[in-house]
Structure 1
C-alpha cells in the first residue's frame, strides 16, 4: 500500500505542480549536507503555499526550518513587503537553509533565528502579530508552540501543526515515545483552549500515514 501512496503523490505532483529547480536543488543540498530527509512532501508544500495565500498572510512564523524546503514554499506565498520569521535549533541546518533560500531567491524576505524554539519565541515581541504559523519542530513542544502562536497572532491567524497522527501512534495512551506524548498533549490543549477553532486531517502519501492540525485563532 505504501508504494501506492507514493505513486499517487507522484501522479498529483505531475499533474498539479510544475518542475522546480530551486526546490529540487534544496532537497539535493539537504541530502549532501547530511540533513535528515524529513521535509514536507511537494504536495504538502504546495498546500502550505495555498493556505498562506488564502489567509492573506503578510507575516508568517515557522517553527522548524530544517533546510528551508517548507520555508521556500511559504516565502513564495508572501506579497511584496511580506516577511517570514523561521526558527531553527541546529546552526548547521540554519546555514544550509540560508544557502537554499539564496538560491531560491527568497532570502530577502526570510529571517532565520537560531536557538531553542521556546527561547526564540519568548524573545519575539515587535514582529507580531503573525497571520500564519507553521509548526514542524520537536513534537514534545507542540502544545507550547501553539500557545505561543496564539500570543503572537491575532483573531483570524491560521495555525498548521504537522505530524500529528504518527501512523496511528497518537492513539497509544501508554506510549513512552516523547513525540507521541507531546502530540497527545497538543490535542488535549486544543480541545480545552477556547481561543481556537481546530480540526485535524489524516494524510497518506510520500510521508506515509500521518496528518496535520489546522486551527484558527478566534
Structure 2
C-alpha cells in the first residue's frame, strides 16, 4: 500500500496543470469542493481529446476543475455542468472566465442531478462525467449511459472510495454502491469498462454499438 501511495503522489507531482486549473483548484480547496486530482484530470483530458468530444455533460461542477480539464482536452467542446450548490457554480463560472472559456461553451445548471438528467436528450453526448452524490452513483451512471451516443464514454472518478473498495469488510452504502457499479459494468456486454487506479481512481465505460454486442 505504501508503494502505491508513493506512486500516486509521484504521478500527481509530475502532472503539469495549466495555470487556470491550478487557480481553480486553489479556490475549490478554499470552498471545500474536493476537486479531482491532477492525475485524474489529465486522464479525462486525454479521453476527451481522443474522442474528439464536442458535447460533454458533467454531473458535479465543484469549482470548475474537472470541467476545465475536459475542455482542455476538447477545446471545441460545449460543456453542460450540473451542481446543486450555487456557490460552487459561481466559482466555476469565474474559473471558466479566467481560463478564457467563452460563455457559450459552458452551460451551468443549478439543480439536483436526479431532477435535471431525466429531461436531457438521450444519445446526444460524447462524454458524461459523474462526480456527485456518491450514494446515487448507480442512478447517475444509468442516466449517463442513456445520454451518451453509441461509442460515447461515461467517466466516474473516486470509485476506489479512498481504498475502501478493496476491503471486503467495508460494507457502507457508498463503498457498496461503487463496488456494485464496478462489478456490474465489468460483466456487462453493453459497455467496455476499464478501472484506473491513478489518483483517486477512475472508472471508464464506453458504450458498445448494439450490432457489435
Give the shorter-chain TM-score range: 0.7 to 0.9
Question: Which residue among 75, 79, 86 is the counterpart of 2:81?
Answer: 86
Q: CA deviation at 1:5?
A: 3.9
Q: Given the alignment, which residue of 159, 183, 195 partners 2:178?
A: 183
Q: Partners of 1:136 and 1:70 in 2: how far apart? A: 9
Which residue does the alignment assign to 1:149? 144
Tell me the SS of whatever aligns to 1:74.
Answer: helix
Deviates more, 1:99-108 or 1:186-195: 186-195
Q: CA deviation at 1:10?
A: 5.1
Say if 1:76 and 1:106, in contact at 8 Å, map to a contact too.
no
Structure 1 position 111, deviation (Å): 0.8
Give the number of equivalent residue pairs.
Answer: 205
The Cα of 1:122 is off from its aligned counterpart by 0.9
Which of residues 159, 163, 167 is equivalent to 1:168? 163
| Residue number in structure 2 paired with 1:130 | 125
Q: CA deviation at 1:181?
A: 2.2
Do the aligned partners of residues 192 and 144 (structure 1) sit closer, same or farther apart at CA in structure 2, a change above 3 Å counting? Answer: farther
Report matched runs for 1:3-18 at 5 Å: 4-5=6-7, 7-9=9-11, 11-13=13-15, 17=16
Whether 2:76 is the aligned partner of 1:74: answer no
Give unpaired runs (5+ residues) of structure 2: 209-213
- How far residue 64 of structure 1 moved from its aligned partner, in angstroms, is 1.0
Q: CA deviation at 1:71?
A: 0.5
Superimposed CA distance per residue, residues 108-149 of structure 1 (whole angstroms, 9 cap, x where no aligned partner): 2111111111111112128x5101121111211221111111
Partner of 2:32: 35
Structure 1 residues 184 and 68 mapped into 2: Cα distance closer, same or farther (>3 Å)? Answer: same
Distance 2:59 2:9 in 1: 30
Please list every run of 5 or more consecutive structure 1 residues that lacks an aligned counterpart in the other structure.
none
Using a 3 Å threshold, how does the CA distance of structure 1 residues 174 and 217 change in structure 2: closer, same or farther? Answer: same
Match of 1:158, SS? Answer: strand
- CA distance in structure 2 between the partners assigned to 1:169 and 1:85 by the alignment: 31
**Structure 1 pair 93–12 and aligned structure 2 pair: CA distance change class (3 A):** same
CA contact under 8 A between 1:133 and 1:160: conserved in structure 2?
yes
CA-CA distance at 1:78 after TM superposition: 2.6
Aligned pairs for 1:39-54 (under 5 A) are 39-54=35-50
Residue 211 of structure 2 corresponds to which residue in structure 1? none
Structure 1: 4+ residue segments shifted above 6 A: none
Q: Say which SS state the counterpart of residue 156 (structure 1) adopts.
A: strand
RMSD over aligned CA atoms reads 2.3
